[in-house]
Structure 1
């Protein structure tokens, strides 16, 4: 981001078409992926 003021940040956020989670890799995983990660000790 190039925003330097609060107003610029708000303007950028208002123009974004994707949700904040839309580009997270983990959110593209299968439904059971969180359970699998728990079993593997991921968290």
Structure 2
């Protein structure tokens, strides 16, 4: 894992996938954020 600014920049340039790609919340059904709001998560 990158620890210095040059390493971070290099990692960003070489990475082919989005940092958000692995987040479970981004794979929920459409409207799921609204459901979570109604349930009091936000």
TM bracket (short chain): 0.7 to 0.9
TM-score by length of 1: 0.82
5+ long unaligned stretches in structure 2:
none
Asked whether 1:21 is paired with 2:20, we answer yes
Q: Deviations over 1:2-25 (max 9, x none)?
A: x24311111011111111211111
5+ long unaligned stretches in structure 1:
none
Spell out structure 1 runs of 4+ moving beyond 3 A. none
